[in-house]
Amino acid sequence: MKLFKQTGLFLSAALLTFACGGPSETVETSEAKEVAEATGQALNLDMDATTISWRGYKPAGQHFGKIPATEGSLMVTGDEITGGKFTFDITGLKIEDLEEGSENYGKLWGHLQSPDFFDAANHPTATFEITGIEPFAAGDVIADMEQFETDNTPMAASELSPETPTHWISGNLTMRGTSKNIKFPAAVAMENGVVTAKAGFNIDRTEWGLSYGDEANAVDKAKDQFIYNTVSLMLDVKAN
């Protein structure tokens, strides 16, 4: 099955519904899909040139950082991407708005690793496996929607997306033992055997069981005592 036909592609992701023409603030999410058999040459992820950034929101503030990729590859035949799979180290998660080694850093890092969020003791890694790629057409839009307004309302989908997306990337994102298929726009290119990609999108963390402080509770919203379900992911990826 041809997933990509032009001089571009890619992905990744974590971790994190950009809907084609749909009014949604987080990525288009569905049940996990079958992965087609990939053929061709493997291009390995360049760990030094790849960053996966995250940003979480609550009315009183924001936290942000990175989750390192530990391994990954794209399968390429000519200028066509036929598949790809990537692994991310949840236990290696970094928090960049707090001083590493500080008490607050340790508390937040421990909470994110706990069963309230990633349950890293049982699920230390996350994976993304490509299931489909299609061109970003001229009529496609990245629609924004209203979110509960506070001083730290999550970034809009259109703010996160690359200025000129070239493709829609679909794939199975697995976190905390749950797999969901997500679809998001990316700006991708292939030149001299090197694939690069940039993407930014939102996910609804509760789709993967990260439900601590779920903003659905109206009482908590009234008191501003919740964590937004929306988490932003920003990807800058290179594979050789």
What is the tens place of the pLDDT at every residue in 156-189?
999 999 999 998 999 999 999 999 999 999 998 8
Return d(Cα 20, Cα 70) in angstroms, integer.
Answer: 30
Q: In degrees rounded to 5, what are phi and psi of residue 191? A: -150, 125
- Mean pLDDT along residues 92-115: 97
Q: Over the stretch 117-143, which tens digit does the pLDDT of each residue have?
A: 999 999 999 999 999 888 999 889 887
Residue 93: is its pLDDT beyond 50? Answer: yes
- The DSSP annotation for 32-60 comes to --PPPPP-SEEEEB-GGG-EEEEEEEETT
**Residue whose entry in the numeric block shows the structure tokens 């692994």:** 87
More confident residue, 210 or 9: 210
Reduced 3-state DSSP string for 53-72:
EEEEEECCEEEEEECCEEEE
Q: What percent of the chain has pLDDT over 90?
A: 57
- Read off the pTM: 0.85
Residue 25: is its pLDDT beyond 60? Answer: no
The pLDDT assigned to 81 comes to 74
Residue 49: is its pLDDT beyond 60? Answer: yes
The pLDDT assigned to 205 comes to 96
